[in-house]
């Protein structure tokens, strides 16, 4: 009897944001599956919530392969000095400690009024546009860019430049040579950060680049590590939030009763944001975090050889009925249970409080400013950025 072909990734979401039926069917068969990645490599896909937490918190799994394996262009930044996702143990803790104060709950609370002011300004700008208007151009893209620019201490006028480089770094490709487009973009982004950080000698201010410069001066980090930390924050802090705003709004349009619940009871905004994060996180079709076991391991009874590719499918874990009741139902009043949209373990997203703040500001006020907000095109006419790891849309035309 011939062996059955392996399930293939990606498994694209339906209607841009809804879970893939193939993913749901595979997840229902168990918490871990042997699959084939787009690169042609074989590996395992973890779709169970508890199993994913176990892998992400287990030191038996390293964050990068030995030797590194090109699965997506994200591998161009693995091993780069200061990229948190590549470091482990005490080195990871040392680097994370340097940037943690900039993203602490206290620092983020101080940013709240500034984020609200930015959003209010962007709402006014959007309202002044002829209809239909591109919400991506006037809200979902500029808001995270303006916030991360303020946090880092760089000019917002530079956002088109660094966002363009960020797109190239986050593009799916399977080339890993020294001249790949993603690698060249990453090097150019680091060069940009290097120049901006050195400018802080003359114009320090209260911002992340100044904090990183101080860490270098105090011997807590090398200049290359500080540059990598800043570049990583710029990429992660911008791309994911842009996509999350767009996916969340599309979810609200697709579920008008849930939108009405939120509008009628603004106190639901925190739960609504968590539900958007759980069910409609950034990404396109085979999202997750790659891990590599140092030795042979067994997960849920499945034997996995050392140095295999193990993709922890974070979005898939949100549909595990062992953890979430009726997981396929979008419920803005869902009683909060922890999800894995921000990962888990030592590499839990350091910018989680800032991301939540931005999303709460947007979803807590946008329908007050635009009660009749709606898509100006049929949902199927939206063009998903499938080439970008975080997803999102080429444009998001709306009427109000």
Please, what's the b/e burial string for 77-90 (b: 16 or more CB within 10 A of its CB; e: otherwise)? Answer: bbebbbbbbbbeee
> How many Å apart are CA 173 and CA 11, to the nearest integer?
17
Question: How do 42-46 and 32-36 pair as beta strands?
Answer: antiparallel
Burial environment of residue 216 by CB neighbours within 10 A (0 to 12, 13 to 18, 19 or more): middle
> How many Å apart are CA 46 and CA 180, to the nearest integer?
29
> By the 8 A CB rule, do 295 and 306 touch?
yes
Tens of pLDDT along the chain (400 residues) come to: 457 899 999 888 999 999 999 999 999 999 999 999 988 899 999 999 999 999 999 999 998 754 444 444 455 666 678 888 878 899 999 999 999 988 888 888 888 999 999 999 999 999 999 999 999 999 999 999 899 988 999 988 888 788 788 878 877 654 555 567 878 888 999 999 999 999 999 999 889 999 999 999 999 999 999 999 999 888 887 889 999 999 999 999 999 999 999 999 999 999 999 999 999 998 765 578 999 999 999 999 999 999 999 999 999 999 999 999 999 999 999 998 999 999 999 999 999 999 999 999 999 999 999 999 999 999 999 999 887 878 899 999 999 9
Residue with tokens 């993603």: 182
> How many Å apart are CA 98 and CA 83, to the nearest integer?
13
- Residue 156: count other Cβ atoms within 10 Å of its Cβ: 14
> By the 8 A CB rule, do 391 and 282 touch?
yes
Contacts of 199 (CB under 8 A, 6+ apart): none
3-state secondary structure of 345: helix
Which residue segments constitute the domains of the chain, with CATH numbers given?
21-399 (1.10.630.10)
Q: Using alpha carbons only, give the angle 189, 239, 343 rounded to the nearest 5 degrees.
A: 110
Alpha helix stretches (DSSP H) within 204-351: 208-217, 223-254, 256-264, 269-279, 314-317
> How many Å apart are CA 134 and CA 122, to the nearest integer?
12
């Amino acid at each position: 009897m011939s062996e059955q072909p392996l399930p293939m990734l990606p498994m694209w979401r339906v209607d841009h944001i809804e879970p893939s039926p193939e993913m749901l069917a595979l997840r229902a068969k168990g918490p871990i599956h042997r699959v084939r990645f787009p690169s042609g490599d074989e590996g395992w896909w973890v779709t169970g919530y508890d199993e994913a937490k176990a892998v992400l918190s287990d030191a038996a799994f390293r964050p990068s392969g030995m030797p590194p394996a090109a699965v997506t262009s994200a591998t161009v930044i693995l091993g780069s000095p200061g990229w948190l996702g590549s470091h482990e143990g005490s080195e990871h803790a040392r680097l994370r400690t340097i940037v943690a104060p900039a993203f602490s709950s206290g620092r983020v609370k101080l940013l709240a009024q500034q984020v609200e002011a930015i959003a209010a300004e962007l709402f006014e700008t959007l309202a002044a546009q002829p209809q239909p208007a591109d919400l991506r151009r006037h809200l979902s893209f500029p808001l995270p860019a303006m916030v991360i620019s303020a946090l880092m201490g760089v000019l917002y006028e530079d956002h088109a430049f660094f966002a363009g480089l960020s797109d190239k770094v986050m593009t799916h490709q399977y080339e890993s040579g020294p001249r790949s487009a993603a690698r060249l973009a990453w090097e150019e982004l680091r060069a940009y950060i290097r120049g901006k950080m050195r400018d802080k000698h003359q114009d320090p201010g209260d911002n992340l680049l100044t904090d990183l410069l101080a860490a270098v001066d105090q011997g807590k980090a090398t200049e290359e590590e500080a540059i990598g930390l800043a570049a990583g924050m710029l990429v992660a802090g911008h791309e994911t939030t842009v996509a999350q705003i767009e996916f969340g709004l599309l979810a609200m349009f697709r579920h008008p009763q849930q939108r009405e619940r939120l509008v009628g009871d603004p106190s639901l905004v925190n739960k609504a944001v968590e539900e958007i994060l759980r069910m409609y996180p950034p990404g396109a079709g085979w999202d997750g975090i790659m891990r590599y076991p140092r030795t042979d391991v067994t997960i849920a009874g499945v034997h996995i050889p050392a140095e295999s590719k193990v993709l922890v499918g974070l979005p898939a874990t949100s549909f595990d009925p062992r953890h979430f009741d009726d997981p396929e139902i979008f419920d803005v009043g869902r009683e909060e249970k922890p999800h894995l949209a921000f990962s888990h373990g030592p590499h839990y997203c350091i910018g989680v409080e800032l991301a939540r703040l931005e999303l709460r500001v947007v979803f807590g006020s946008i329908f007050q400013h635009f009660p009749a907000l709606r898509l100006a095109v049929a949902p199927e006419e939206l063009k998903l950025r499938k080439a970008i790891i975080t997803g999102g849309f080429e444009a998001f035309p709306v009427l109000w």
